[in-house]
Structure 1
Amino acid sequence: MSRLIKERKGAVARLVLNRPEKHNAFDEALIEELTQAIDEAENDPSVRVVVLAANGKSFSAGGDLDWMRRMAAYSEEENLADANRLALLMQRLNFIPKPTIAAVQGAAMGGGVGLVAACDIAVGTAQVMFGLTEVRIGLIPATIGPYVVQAIGERAARRYFMTGERFDAATARELGLLHEVVEDLDAAVARHVEALLLGGPEALGATKKLIRRVGRGPINVAMIEDTAARIARARAGGEAREGIAAFFGRRKPNWQA
């Protein structure tokens, strides 16, 4: 059975974690499959939105126990190579220049929290439980750390990284890890997909880069000049010209169905 199911519906690529018997815990094989699938979606111009979901009761229990047992017997060099593969997955998911949506049900633990944090939009059911429990087995949430801290903030990370306590969907919403807590996960994802497909593909990718740029550091002359250069490039581009012409022509731009 494939650890990852890849589905297509129009411009939407749906990547479904498919180890329900293991609560979608990931090992080196799933990490490789998911990284490759994200790269394929990035390089396919017909894909405009990526949805990350999971089969079974849980979104992801994080690292597979058998995988972690094998890692414990690795040398430090082997562990570094293995950790770099997980770090690459998180990087690819976070920086793919297309909007991503995490559809979360059940439990999301450890690395599963990292997957949610690396997505642009995250929706979950009221039954979702999160936990960053690495310290309880003598590990640290290292490769997922940058994305989770950006999602929930340093102050909250100090608590949840170090206590390893679980927190529910309502708390995740308050922390910013989830954008919405919903009853119908599929309907919520469909609503966000519909909204995202209204945006220009190039504009969405550029907006993701803009957020990363302005979300860090002080507002200074360099940042102001950078933002001016970004909008100037966008205005001069063909997508913006098409969008403005469509608006005044009272028609849909060519990227909308």
Structure 2
Amino acid sequence: MADLPHCDTLLLNLDAGVLHITLNRPDSRNAMSLAMVHELRAVLESVRNDPAVRALVLRGAGGHFCAGGDIKDMAGARAKGHDAYRDLNRAFGALLEEAQAAPQVVVAVLEGAVLGGGFGLACVSDIAIAAEGCKFGLPETTLGILPAQIAPFVVKRVGLTQARRLALTAARFDGAEALRLGLVHYCESSENLDARLTEVLQQIRQCAPQANAQTKALLLASETEAMNALLDRAAEQFAAAVTGAEGVEGTMAFVQKRAPKWAQ
């Protein structure tokens, strides 16, 4: 098991192969500080090659997911000039890239404010569960700035037409609208959020960890890789999987009418 880094802005709890990561700056509605960005990236790196960690659950403390970037960090960067702003912004983009590419299944549990950077994190999750009363939005343009690192991920998640509307109006919307847009997969009452999360994690545990990691990478590659090359590589991976440890165990479990080892 990989060692988890010490964190001041996150709460970490590893339970039965699931790492629960809680954004823990409730006084600022879990606004994304540069320190939090660095800590999240360090956590992702620490578990990237750990097959014992099968899922990552992101949520926020104090009834909110994340209200966006930390204005105090932006004010601090002002004294350092253009390059400091660029580096601050790009660090968050790197976090989104790394979260999206994580071999684990990333589950976002969304409550309260899901704004700006929080919206971006929701967009890179594999499975998103929203409370009905969530307040989603991209408020950047109302501040005279751009959703610079978030925008490409929003387009991938909800499509260019809807992304243009949301970014260019800064419209706020709730969990039901997020479900309609395809931003989230489930919209629940606050009382049912944890029950839905438990159900989703049970489903994930039925899937072989390495097969899940390779399948996720294959799905993401379908957006950028040429089809012929992608299918050639996928065929090689399929053959390796069938003859590998997980494939053999899965086949034997099916024949013997039992659950495979990873689902027990």
| Both proteins in one fold, TM over 0.5 | yes
Please give the alpha-carbon distance, in whole angstroms, between the structure 2 residues aligned to 1:79 and 1:198.
44
The one of 233, 247, 251 aligned to 2:254? 247
TM-score by length of 2: 0.91
Partner of 1:171: 177
Partner of 1:235: 242
Please give the alpha-carbon distance, in whole angstroms, between the structure 1 residues aligned to 2:63 and 2:164.
29
- Which 5+ residue runs of structure 2 have no aligned equivalent? 1-6
Partner of 1:256: 263
Distance 1:37 1:221, change over 3 A: closer
| 2:52 alignment partner, SS class | coil
| 1:108 alignment partner, SS class | strand
> Which range moved further: 126-135 or 233-242?
233-242
What's the CA shift for 1:216?
4.8
**AA paired with 2:263?**
Q
- Which 5+ residue runs of structure 1 have no aligned equivalent? none
**AA paired with 2:63?**
K
Partner of 1:181: 187
Indicate conservation of the 8 Å contact 2:211/2:241, yes or no: yes
Partner of 1:31: 37
The one of 215, 225, 230 aligned to 1:207? 215
TM-score by length of 1: 0.94
Asked if residue 64 in structure 1 is aligned to residue 79 in structure 2, the reply is: no
The one of 147, 150, 158 aligned to 2:156? 150
> Residue by residue, what CA displacement relative to the aligned partner does 1:38-60 show, whole Å, maximum 9, x if unpaired?
22232333211110011113111
> Which range moved further: 123-132 or 164-173?
164-173
- Give % identity: 33
What's the CA shift for 1:192?
0.4
What's the CA shift for 1:111?
0.5
Indicate conservation of the 8 Å contact 1:41/1:50, yes or no: no
The one of 131, 142, 153 aligned to 1:136? 142
> Which range moved further: 187-196 or 72-81?
72-81
Please give the alpha-carbon distance, in whole angstroms, between the structure 1 residues aligned to 2:94 and 2:153.
13
Partner of 1:122: 128
Indicate conservation of the 8 Å contact 2:51/2:209, yes or no: no
Please give the alpha-carbon distance, in whole angstroms, between the structure 2 residues aligned to 1:212 and 1:169.
25
CA RMSD in angstroms, aligned pairs only: 1.7
| 1:255 alignment partner, SS class | helix
Please give the alpha-carbon distance, in whole angstroms, between the structure 2 residues aligned to 1:151 and 1:170.
16
What's the CA shift for 1:217?
6.9
